[in-house]
Amino acid sequence: MFGWKRSKREEYYNKKSYLNRRLQKDVIRNGTAYLSCRIEGLEDVISKFSIQGTEALNAEFADALVDNIDCIPQEYPLVLEIHGPQFTEEEKKMITEAVISDADYLLGKTEAENNHHRKVFWWMVAGTVGSGALLGVLNHFVDEVPLEFFYVLFWLFADALVRYLFIEFGDYKNDKIRAGRIASIKVVFVESPDE
């Protein structure tokens, strides 16, 4: 009984992904990544809460777009292939502008967050160096001051700094790259022959 469970667990653990083969077969053509999506109408792409002239993407559509982009290697340019009914030129323009507008918004938001994190990083550096220097001076010259507070202060700054350098910095960089890729996406329409 237990041997079977162990062998199944090992089988699941050792299961290999065939993502690259799948991407080469279904997504990547001639050095370009094509993200294909099927829509039934305009409401699948454009949010029902948008007003005319400032259309935004449907949240479910935007989430699906971001999820698919995360699987594609970064060296491939992106083309969003929208399969669906025959849209008028005005509707195509509206969908394209909504994709570009939301992508620009995401890029700007990501850049603002990264600028904020960069400022926080320099405060963490200054706090770590300052509290370390203050701790060294107090420890060396003043004997009657309790140093526990300064030890805690130093370790809080140092912990935040190390976490940023080794864990969060890569995430912020990847967020910026993803937003840049989405902002440079090209939109094409493939009309279904049966509609």
Beta carbons within 8 Å of 183's beta carbon, 6+ residues apart: 100, 103, 104, 106, 107
- Asked, for residue 127, whether it belongs to a domain, the answer is yes
Strand partners, 29: 32
Contact 15, 68 (CB under 8 A): no
Domain containing 176 equals 20-191
pLDDT in tens, the chain (195 residues): 455 556 777 777 777 777 777 777 777 888 888 888 888 888 888 888 888 888 888 889 889 888 888 888 888 899 999 998 888 899 899 999 999 999 898 899 999 998 998 888 898 889 889 888 888 888 777 777 777 888 888 888 888 888 888 888 888 888 888 889 888 999 999 887 665
- Look at the chain and report how many structural domains it folds into: 1
Examine residue 15 and state whether it is found in any structural domain, yes or no. Answer: no
Please give the full DSSP string across 135-172, using - where no structure is assigned. Answer: HHHHHHH-SSS--HHHHHHHHHHHHHHHHIIIIIHHHH
Please indicate, yes or no, if residue 11 is contained in any of the structural domains: no
Among 158, 178, 159, 181, which Cα is nearest to 170's? 178
7 occurs within a structural domain: no
Give this prediction's pTM: 0.72
* 12, part of any domain: no
